[in-house]
Amino acid sequence: MKHLLSAGDLSRDEAVLILDTAEQLLSVAQRPIKKLPTLRGRTIVNLFFEDSTRTRISFEAAAKRLSADVINFSAKGSSVSKGESLKDTALTLQAMGADAVVIRHHASGAPHRLATSEWTKGAVVNAGDGTHEHPTQALLDAFTMRSRLGDLAGKNVTIVGDVLHSRVARSNALLLDTLGANVTLVAPPTLLPVGVETWPVETSYDLDASLEKADAVMMLRVQRERMNASFFPSAREYSRRYGLDVARMNRLPDHAIVLHPGPMNRGMEINADVADSDRSVIVEQVTNGVAVRMAVLYLLLGGATEGETA
Active site residues: 54-55, 82, 104, 134
**Shortest spacing between CB 50 and ligand NCD, in angstroms:** 8
Selected binder of ligand NCD within 7, 192, 261, 275 (CB under 6 A): 261
**Shortest spacing between CB 166 and ligand NCD, in angstroms:** 7
Helical pair 135-149 and 54-65, crossing angle rounded to 10 deg: 80
Examine residue 293 and tell whether it contacts ligand NCD (CB under 6 A).
Answer: no
Examine residue 266 and tell whether it contacts ligand NCD (CB under 6 A).
Answer: no
Sign of the CA dihedral with 283 first, then 176, 217, and 106 last? positive
Nearer to ligand NCD, 119 or 140 (CB): 140
Examine residue 221 and tell whether it contacts ligand NCD (CB under 6 A).
Answer: yes
Q: Is 44 helix (H, G, I), strand (E, B) or coil?
A: strand
Q: For 69-78, give one letter per residue: b (16+ CB within 10 A) or e.
A: bbbebbbeee
From residue 95, give the alpha-carbon distance in Å to each of 71, 121, 122.
13, 10, 11
Q: Are 284 and 243 in contact (CB under 8 A)?
A: no
Residue 182 CB partners (closer than 8 Å, separation 6+):
154, 155, 156, 157, 202
Examine residue 137 and tell whether it contacts ligand NCD (CB under 6 A).
Answer: yes
Q: What are phi and psi of 260, to 5 degrees?
A: -155, 130
Site string for ligand NCD, 116-135 (x = CB under 6 A): ------------x-----x-
Q: Are 224 and 165 in contact (CB under 8 A)?
A: no
Examine residue 111 and tell whether it contacts ligand NCD (CB under 6 A).
Answer: no
Q: How many residues bind ligand NCD (CB under 6 A)?
A: 11
Selected binder of ligand NCD within 38, 43, 46, 55 (CB under 6 A): 55
Annotated binding site for carbamoyl phosphate: 54-55, 104, 134, 137, 262-263
Where do contacts with ligand NCD occur on this chain (CB under 6 A)?
A: 54-55, 128, 134, 137, 167-168, 221, 223, 261-262
Annotated binding site: 54-55, 82, 104, 134, 137, 167, 221, 262-263
